[in-house]
Amino acid sequence: MAAPELEHLIALFSKLPTMGPRSARRAVLFLLNQKEKQFFPLLQSMQIVMEKVNTCSVCGNLDTVIPCSICSDIHRLPHQICVVRDVADLWAIERSKVYKGQYHVLGGILSALDGIGPEELNIQSLLDKVAVNQGCEIILALPATVEGQTTAHYLYDQLEAYPCTVSALSRGVPVGGELDYLDDGTLQMAFKARRTV
């Protein structure tokens, strides 16, 4: 219908997560209707990010400097390494401002369905880090799903031979959680791991 160049752009937009053909069309028209105010700034910003942003060779975070601003921050604890699935999870933890150590991005989690085995993940580089960081603490901050926990178990087995302690995020009732709406698995976990107060 529209010019092939436009149809091509719409097709590319529709591949973005949460977008479909209709919202991609709306997005492209929105940009074209405000070429100076929206389209050009977005294009410029994308060019800058495309050029400047790279994966940190130390932790796997995305940043404009390598090593990234987290790895090169001397105020962060050097002996804690938080293992996350991807950069989105790393950013989520950073937003919470609750953690002041190092990170290690796995780049995914083990998944038989998606054909992701240990070789596809950044596991060897984690073991190498642990080997030189004697007595460090590895905090497994992986999703509380079957795949996430499978990955956590696998990592725990691998790390046993190394001089480090391994911990994992606690499981239980989330803040603001109504017991009535919680699934049985979470309730069970919360009971098992109950604390004396």
The strand pair at 62-63 and 80-84 is best described as: unpaired
Amino acid sitting at position 72: S
Dihedral sign from CA coordinates of 97, 148, 164, 121: negative
Instruction: Indicate whether 57 belongs to the interface with its own copies (CB under 8 A).
Output: no
Closest approach, Cβ 110 to its own copies, in A, equals: 18
Instruction: Indicate whether 18 belongs to the interface with its own copies (CB under 8 A).
Output: yes
Closest approach, Cβ 69 to its own copies, in A, equals: 7
Closest approach, Cβ 61 to its own copies, in A, equals: 8
Helix (H) or strand (E) holding 32: helix 21-33
Interface with its own copies (CB under 8 A), residue from 86, 149, 162, 172: 86
Write the burial class of residue 82 (CB in 10 Å: 0-12 exposed, 13-18 middle, 19+ buried).
Answer: buried
Closest approach, Cβ 190 to its own copies, in A, equals: 27
The strand pair at 137-140 and 62-63 is best described as: unpaired
Tell me which residues touch its own copies (CB under 8 A).
1-3, 5-6, 8-9, 12-13, 15-19, 23, 25-32, 35, 38-43, 45-50, 52-53, 62-65, 69, 86-88, 91, 94-95
